[in-house]
Amino acid sequence: MRNSKIVRTDLLEVALPLTTPYKTGFGTLADRNTLLVRLETEDGLDLYVDESWINRHTIRRIKSQP
């Protein structure tokens, strides 16, 4: 297997509704927030990476970065 150059990246925010709200000490979660990172290589291969159980505060912080 040879090294392949990444030619494109995409960051996708996803909020999946939970069937039952999840209660924590921070409040009630009604959906699961996550980020999907899509990487495309020069060979045309698409790779998706999931950052599970990320919260809205972290997503807002990432979006505010240049």
Quote the CA–CA distance of 14 and 53 in Å, as a whole number: 11
pLDDT bin (cut points 50, 70, 90) of residue 63 is low
Q: Is the pLDDT of residue 51 over 80?
A: no
Contacts of 17 (CB under 8 A, 6+ apart): 30, 31, 32
Q: Is the pLDDT of residue 65 over 60?
A: no
The two structure tokens encoding residue 53: 């159980």
pTM of the model: 0.54
Domains of the chain: 6-63 (3.30.390.10)
The β-bridge partners of 11 are 37
